[in-house]
Amino acid sequence: MAIPRPLPVAVPRHVAIIMDGNGRWAKARGLPIIEGHKQGITALRRCIDVCCRYGIDYLTVFGFSDDNWRRQQKDVDNLMDLLRSYLIDDKDWKKEGVRLRVIGERKRLGEDIARLIGMKEQETAEQTRLNLTIALSYSGRKDIMQAMEHLIRQKKTISEDNVRGVLWTSFMPDPDLLIRTSGEMRLSNFMLWQTAYSEFYFTDTLWPDFDEQAMEQALSSYAARHRRYGA
């Protein structure tokens, strides 16, 4: 029988992840890039399981950035095909009680994918175990800009509360822990407003290799942090 591991003392309510390193994972094995992304989906499924088990309320992952559109057309097309099948195939959400949401410029993903996303969001809207948000065609700066435009249109003052209320992320608390895999130590335009007081955790592990143990290491590191919020 598996021995249950002790829970870290402070479990973050919201974990955000920049899932990076799929391409390098594939290259190192002489495989086509898309194989790295496929393994990346397996890693995401594992990670969702861990979050459910630890009672984490929100998991937000960076799946595709606004700047990723500049990649080779073939790679973008392959990724979109993979995204489509992930959205169609994933049965785990129902079983695990996962509520799916997508943030970013979903229209750019194409009509069929946008429709699929809308369907999955509706299907899972009543589920409460884990709030899974996937950032797709996402730019943190664009989110801030659309929030400003919104407030100007509504003739509202630019206060922190008002901005927070119109960001794409208005439904979620700020991330407590932000993880980036693959050794890169930058935000790459992810959740610029929301990570003001997040704890950052960087690991050399490539996203497809990020397993349960790697996630638990990140959670343990978080549990040992002292958050002061400037006070």
| 34: three-class secondary structure by DSSP | helix
Among the listed residues 62, 93, 168, 210, the single contact to ligand IPE using CB under 6 A: 62
Residue 65 binds ligand IPE (CB under 6 A)? yes
Residue 20 binds ligand IPE (CB under 6 A)? yes
Cβ contacts of residue 77 below 8 Å, gap of 6+? none
Nearest to ligand IPE of 64, 210 (CB atom): 64
Structure tokens at 122: 């509706």
Structure tokens at 53: 């088990």
Residue 33 Cβ, how far from ligand IPE at the closest point, in Å? 7
Among the listed residues 22, 60, 169, 205, the single contact to ligand IPE using CB under 6 A: 22
- How far apart are the C-alpha atoms of 209 and 217, rounded to whole Å? 13
Structure tokens at 227: 């958050």
- How far apart are the C-alpha atoms of 48 and 54, rounded to whole Å? 10
Residue 68 Cβ, how far from Mg ion at the closest point, in Å? 9
Pick the stretch among 20-28, 95-103, 119-127, 217-225 that binds ligand IPE (CB under 6 A).
20-28
| 60: three-class secondary structure by DSSP | strand
Query: Minimal CA–CA distance to 215: which of 189, 188, 177?
Result: 177
Instruction: Please report how the helices 212-223 and 33-54 are oriented relative to each other, as an axis angle in degrees rounded to 10.
Output: 50
Residue 142 Cβ, how far from Mg ion at the closest point, in Å? 19
Among the listed residues 12, 52, 58, 64, the single contact to ligand IPE using CB under 6 A: 64
Residue 20 Cβ, how far from Mg ion at the closest point, in Å? 4
Catalytic status, residue 20 = yes
What is the number of other CB atoms lying within 10 angstroms of the CB of residue 21? 25
Q: Give backbone dihedrals phi and psi of 16, rounded to 5 degrees, phi first.
A: -115, 140
String of contacts with ligand IPE for each residue 78-117, x by CB under 6 A: -x--------------------------------------
- How far apart are the C-alpha atoms of 47 and 152, rounded to whole Å? 39
Residue 110 Cβ, how far from ligand IPE at the closest point, in Å? 16
Among the listed residues 184, 192, 220, 227, the single contact to ligand IPE using CB under 6 A: 184
Pick the stretch among 64-72, 107-115, 147-155, 195-203 that binds ligand IPE (CB under 6 A).
64-72
What is the contact surface with Mg ion in residues (CB under 5 A)? 20
